[in-house]
Amino acid sequence: MRRWGLRADDECASAAELVFLVSSRDDVGARTADQFEWQAAMAAADCLRLYWEELGADSAFRETIKIRIVCEHHEDWTVVYYADATLVSAKHYGENFSPYSTINSLMDEGGVAHLFSSWLALREKPTTRLVTATGASGDTAKLLELARVAMERRLDSVGLDPTPEQVDTLERFHQALLKHSAGYRDHWAKVDGFRPGESATGTQQRQLIRFLSGFMFQYNPVNRHVIADAAPTRFVLPLLNRLGIMADPGPVWVAVLGLVRQRMRSRGPTPSGGLLPVRPLGSGGGTVTPAEAEAMLVARIVTLTDIDQVIQQAITRPTGFANLRRLVRFSRLAIKMEAGSCPDTMIELAERLHREWLNYWRDHDLDPTARSRKRRLERDLLRISVKATVLVRQRDAAWGPTLWQQLETELERSQDILPPGIDVSLALGGLCDLASNGEVWFSESFDVDHEQARRRSARGGDDS
């Protein structure tokens, strides 16, 4: 039945309808290519899980328009399931990012404050979920345990009467939201007598418990450097087994991820193509139906039918979705630069300059002063690398290419310390040698030897 003139402030609006009727508060897109790719992969995994859950007992897919994923609207994506909806935020700051130990870190870096504001904007009707490659400890673990208990009570239709320890956790949650959630502050600023910084009232505690009772912390340790290799086996193969289909899961994953990646950029096909709307608004105050509001977001929506179609296409025409096999490098320098997201051309140049550096000092083996001159220069190069790293290092984005450029800049400024016969390019080769020996990094540190061994094992020990 078509619901004429439904407004976002109508009490009868469901969570699913509010997702489309309420305007998104801001642009929630991923801020870096690395984060975007990991978020798209996690959203694709959600799509495959929804598809799995809707298969019948005979493993046959039955088309439905009531289940879909809306990308980059309110949050990174929203799972719409009939009249219900779940707002999902995905956060990945790298393998070396410490677990969320404080509630403030969960609100800020974890994005839960933003999730809470979105939940408020949709009148507390959706549930929420944080997908993250980072674990939890300390006060955050206590908050997540409280959320687990609150969800259990809600599912059992039993209210939660918080213990003194739980009240303390709620108070920390309240103060963190006041600090990080504009939606929470604005919501309570409208209430007479509200003073920021004061302890949570009983009404506020009950609101916090309502949020926690629908909040899920989903820890997914598959990091962005291995997701492309792990996803086909982890996310696609079980589905193909259930469908009874013997097929390569790789092309299926590429197809599903490509679809989600497209919709997250709001580039999906629209029924009207490039035709702009021209129909005059009626006299009903410009209100639209939920269906009309959803139609405006069609380029951001992934339906289960979309998923079924790309799965079938990838199974019948796998070569059309196969990735070109990437060159596998085994040198410590290349592995470290790849971890910093340096492009192939930059890595090739670095390895060439590294060889030239080694050849230069090999040619000076008979010079009795060569060893002391080399050590002195290496100390100067290390100081330059420390300065450059401090200038460019970022916690939530790849900084390898920026470091390379900064190293070149610093060497250009410090040519007076370079001995005769060594120019900026050869000095860069020296920095590459230091990187190969574990003294310069293009990313956060990690176990290079373990990664090198893994690559060799994957190639059967063949380094060629």
Q: Average pLDDT of 11-22?
A: 81
Question: Average per-residue pLDDT in the chain?
Answer: 86
Tens of pLDDT, residues 158-210: 989 999 999 999 999 999 999 999 888 888 888 766 777 788 999 999 999 99
Residue % of the chain over a pLDDT of 90: 56
pLDDT band at 386 (very low <50, low <70, confident <90, very high): very high
In angstroms, the Cα distances linking 458 to 283, 364, 453, 455, 463 are 67, 38, 9, 5, 10
Residue 4: pLDDT above 50? no
Top pLDDT among 429 and 294 is at 429
Residue 269: pLDDT above 70? no
Residue 100: pLDDT above 80? yes
Q: What is the pTM of this model?
A: 0.66
Q: Dihedral (C-alpha) 109, 147, 217, 140: value to the nearest 10 degrees?
A: 40
Give Cα 64 to chain centroid, integer Å.
Answer: 28
Q: Average pLDDT of 312-336?
A: 84
Contact residues for 110 (Cβ-Cβ < 8 A; gap 6+)? 89, 91, 100, 130, 132, 134
Residue 76: pLDDT above 70? yes
Helices 249-264, 33-53: inter-axial angle, 10-degree rounding: 110
Least confident window among 19-33, 53-67, 428-442? 19-33
Predicted pLDDT at 5: 46
Residue 395: pLDDT above 60? yes
Predicted pLDDT at 98: 85
Predicted pLDDT at 182: 87
Max mean pLDDT range (19-33, 415-429, 446-460): 415-429
Edge-first strand order for the sheet with 75-81 is: 215-219, 127-132, 84-91, 75-81, 67-73, 301-303
Residue 33: pLDDT above 60? yes
Least confident window among 79-93, 218-232, 280-294, 420-434? 280-294
